[in-house]
Amino acid sequence: MFMIVILPMFIASVVLLVNMRITIKESSLNTALNNSNTIKYRITEVVDSVEMSLDDLARSFDVISFLRNNYTERSQYYEYYNTKAYNAFGGLSSQIRRVCVYTERDDFVFGANYLFADENVKNALWYKTAVQYGGIPFWTVIRDPADEENYCLGCIRSITDSQGTAGVILALLKDDWIDRMLSEASYSVILSVNKGVVYYSSFSGVLKGDVINPSQEFNVVNTSKIYEEGFFNTNGYTVLNNFYTGSDFQIIMLLPSGYINYLSNRLSLVYGGYCALMIILSLLIIILFSSVFSRRISLLSEKMHSVAAGNFDITITDTGNDEISMLYKDLAQMISDMQRLIDDNYQAQIQREAFKFDQMEAEFKALSSQINPHFLYNTLETIRMKAYVNNDKETADLVKKLGKFMRRCLEFKDGEVSLRSELEFTQSYLELQRARFGDRFSYSIYSEVSKDYPILPLLIQPIVENAFVHGIEGNKTNGRIDIKVYYKGEFVIADVTDNGQGISPEKLKELEEKILVSDTSSGKSIGLTNVCKRIKMYHGDKYGMTISSRVGQGTTIRLTLPRKPEPRLASSGAVQRNSLKG
């Protein structure tokens, strides 16, 4: 019991503990990735709010008019600053700390928010980029014009109208919103913008305003990835989230190994102690109960294994009066019931198989005995009349064909025959009929199926005979039968088409019902019923015969056979032999 319970439990606990440590690591990394996505969404909200405010400001008629003004008096500038300027900057985003509007006009009277773009400003990369983008905002980390030692996150865009660039807007954001968002993280966080310019960093090795590029994938926009390495020579893991909001933003989270190991060790201690306690308790319980029930349970187990192996000749000797004794009694009853059921099922199976075989054999014999001699009598009469009237080579040829046909009827081999043999047999029949009907009848045989295709004997000839009896004999001239054998998907199709009188819808429905139920009681259409039933019994209900006909236009009988025949009957050779010789 120790080997069966305690040792597997110990191994399972170790494996589970290892997997849990791996899960904690993956969970911590995924949590950091989810946190980076949350930060991404909040940054996106701030970015959208600021860009919307700058867009309103850049499109303001008052601002553009003021930048393009032709004031001659300084008082006119001061009047604007005291009235409309306040209104223009009053409804901006709450995250914006300061907005500066730069203009290159040297005759401009500048105020708190309107500044002159001197040569240093005009040569700055952010200013050139704003002019180049033509009204599209972009983000970067920039020094505060009022405090050169302080770096700020800035959104920059130009103010354009029909005359070109009227000015450049620089919006500097407050720092408190990003501090509140990132300062409480349990790991180091770096936020950079515009291809690695650091705006926020809680990692001591990276400062605001630094330019970083820790990975080749750092510049791939819309990338969220976990690295099994720590950037900037840190021992741990890195989560990178690179997204685009008009400019590239990068969120880098550095997870030290100690942080993840701390979580893993704490859980390992709790879970390890719990598993150890469970193992000790389980061991004590096993020792206690095994000393009482070990022998009886072992004996019961042996007997059950013996029954499972198929040995029902066992003796039940337990005489107790508890649950184990009830199990012994149930085992004895189960053995008795199983023996009885096996014997009954074996006898019933033997009877079913014998009945099924006898029934199929009798049915094949009955079907094979239903060959209509009508054709043979008519042919002999034709030969007799021709021999009486014309003593020539044609009569000898007819006699030869008839002999060949009769010999073929008597020399069918057991089981299947080739398609070549069946078509030659049918052609012999057609030649004899053409001798009988003369110019009143013609035929054609076409086959694209392999001549070695195996087929049951007497499938096509009875269909052709039926076409003569019910179709061609009623025509005085131009009687014709066409035989076509071809592939269609997973089937082989054999169509026998005549241009006879056709079948009325009522008679066609009645005929299809008789063939469907294999009804031969009326003595009519026995050949068709025979063929259809033999196909279904030999190949399955998926195959068989269909009839289509129009009154005055003829009839087509279609046989559907498998492309790769596989007999369904286990004793198909014997059954087929009885069918042909019965």
pLDDT digits (tens, 9 = 90+) for 426-436: 888 888 888 77
SS3 label, residue 555: strand
pLDDT-based confidence at 548, cuts 50/70/90?
Answer: very high
Task: Answer whether 410's CB lies under 8 Å from 376's CB.
Answer: no
d(CA 385, CA 395): 9
CA atoms within 13 A on the CB side of 260: 22
Residues 444-457 as b/e (b if ≥16 CB within 10 A, e otherwise) read: ebebebeeebebbb
- DSSP at 141: E
pLDDT of residue 444 exceeding 80, the answer is yes
Contacts of 186 (CB under 8 A, 6+ apart): 259
Inter-residue contact 147 to 134 (CB < 8 Å) = no
pLDDT of 195 reads 79
Tell me which residue of 124, 153, 149, 143 sits closest to 247, measured CA to CA: 153
| Helix, strand or coil, per DSSP, at residue 472 | helix
- Residue scoring higher pLDDT (100 or 21): 100
At residue 400, the pLDDT reads: 65
In 3D space, the residue among 130, 142, 56 whose CA is nearest the CA of residue 93 turns out to be 56
Top-confidence residue, 481 or 185: 481
Evaluate whether 245 touches 252 at the Cβ level (below 8 Å). Answer: no
- Tell me the pLDDT tens digit for each residue of 290-309: 776 777 777 777 777 777 77
pLDDT value, residue 521? 55
Could you report the per-residue pLDDT of 77-133, keeping only the tens digit for each? 887 877 766 666 767 788 888 888 998 888 888 877 888 888 988 898 889 988 998
Q: Per mean pLDDT, which range of 38-42, 276-280, 373-377 is the poorest? A: 373-377
Q: What is the tens place of the pLDDT at every residue in 213-228? A: 766 556 667 778 888 8
For residues 73 and 148, what is the distance between their CA atoms, to the nearest angstrom?
33
The pLDDT of residue 572 is: 39
Burial of 213 (0-12, 13-18, 19+ CB in 10 A): exposed
Two structure tokens written together for 295:
């022998």
Q: What's the rounded Cα separation, in Å, for the pair 286 and 6? A: 9
The whole-angstrom separation of Cα 478 and Cα 488 is 30
Q: HSE-up of 59 (CA within 13 Å, CB side)?
A: 8
Q: What is the DSSP string of 386-449?
A: HHHH--SHHHHHHHHHHHHHHHHHH-PPSS-EEHHHHHHHHHHHHHHHHHHHGGGEEEEEEE-S
Q: Average pLDDT of 51-74?
A: 86
The pLDDT-based confidence of 366 (bands split at 50, 70, 90) is very low
Q: What is the C-alpha end-to-end distance of the chain, expressed in Å?
A: 70
**What is the residue whose two structure tokens read 């007799």?**
384
> Quick check: 154 pLDDT over 50?
yes
How many helices (H) and strands (E) the chain has is answered by: 16, 17
CA dist 246 and 223 (Å) reads 15
User: At 462, which amino acid appears?
Assistant: P
Q: Which of 237, 233, 280 has the alpha carbon at shortest distance from 256?
A: 237
Q: Which 3 state secondary structure label does DSSP give 75?
A: helix
Tokens found for residue 300: 């019961």
Domains in the chain, ordered, with CATH? 1-291 (no CATH), 312-368 (no CATH), 372-581 (3.30.565.10)
HEC string of 92-118 equals CCCCEEEEEEEECCCCCCCCCCEEECC
Q: Which residue has the tokens 């096993």?
A: 286
Contact criterion met (CB below 8 Å) for 203 and 214: no
* pLDDT greater than 90 at residue 447: yes
Average pLDDT over residues 174-181: 83
Average pLDDT, the chain: 78
Amino acid at 511: L
Q: Using the 8-state DSSP alphabet, how is residue 501 labeled?
A: S
